[in-house]
C-alpha cells in the first residue's frame, strides 16, 4: 500500500525547476522580471514574466498544474486540447415538408 492518493500522479512530468530574477528582455521596459523553468530534460519549458515574485510564482504554479493535468489525462501538454473528429452520416438526409391538404367542403 502507498501513501499516494488517487488524485496525485505517481510522477509529476512538469515540476517547477526554478524561478529566478533576471534582466528584462531587449526592448522591454524595466521592472521586475523573472525567468522560470518547468519540467526536466527535453521536456522543459523556459519562460520570462514580469511582475512581483509572488505574482510570477502564482502564474507558474497554475501553468505547471495545467500541464500536468493535461498530461495525466492523455492530452498533449503543448496543445490546448485534442480536436475530436465529427462523424458524418453515411446516408444523406433530406428535410421532409408537409404535404398540403385541400380543405373539405360540405
Where do the structural domains in the chain lie, given as residue ranges? 16-72
Residue 63 has a pLDDT of 94
Intervals of the chain under pLDDT 50: 1-10
Residue 73 has a pLDDT of 79
Helix%, strand%, coil% for the chain, nearest 5:
20, 20, 60
Residue 74 has a pLDDT of 74
End-to-end distance of the chain based on CA atoms, in angstroms? 86
Rounded to two decimals, the pTM is: 0.59
Amino acid at each position: 500500500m502507498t501513501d499516494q492518493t488517487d488524485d496525485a500522479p505517481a510522477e509529476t512530468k512538469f515540476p517547477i525547476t526554478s524561478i529566478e530574477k533576471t534582466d528584462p528582455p531587449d526592448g522591454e521596459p524595466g521592472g521586475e522580471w523573472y525567468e522560470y523553468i518547468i519540467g526536466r530534460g527535453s521536456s522543459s519549458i523556459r519562460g520570462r514574466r514580469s511582475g512581483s515574485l509572488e505574482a510570477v510564482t502564482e502564474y507558474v504554479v497554475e501553468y505547471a498544474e495545467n500541464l500536468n493535468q493535461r498530461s495525466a489525462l492523455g492530452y498533449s501538454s503543448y496543445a490546448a486540447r485534442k480536436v475530436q473528429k465529427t462523424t458524418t452520416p453515411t446516408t444523406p438526409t433530406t428535410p421532409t415538408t408537409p404535404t398540403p391538404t385541400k380543405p373539405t367542403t360540405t
